[in-house]
Amino acid sequence: MVTQNATIAANAVPGVLLAVASPRDHGYALTRMWEALVERVGWETMTFRSVADAESWIRTRLRQKFGIDLAGPAKHPGQCQNLRVMCRCLQVC
């Protein structure tokens, strides 16, 4: 799994931010262990209990790291909606 993540990261745009929402204990624990394994890949990851918290972290880190503000009005149609979809796709049961 870590090798696969390293291969993906090698082809990814630098500075990948990945938030995972996992409200249940089992999924949360597994995701936290995965974070420890993937740490050396260079992704900035964080696990949350709710999608709202995951979205908030992504918005904050985008602003801090890249100067991208998704909190205000979207500059491109669907910009904020795309963030919600990405967070929901990563939601773990």
**pTM higher than the cut 0.75:** no
pLDDT tens column, 54-79 = 888 988 988 888 888 876 545 544 44
Within 13 Å, how many C-alpha atoms sit on residue 78's CB side?
Answer: 3
Residue 4 DSSP SS3: helix
pLDDT tens column, 9-35 = 677 666 778 888 888 999 899 989 888
Using an 8 Å Cβ cutoff, are 20 and 33 in contact?
Answer: no
Q: What is the pLDDT of residue 91?
A: 46
pLDDT classification of 93: cutoffs 50, 70, 90: very low
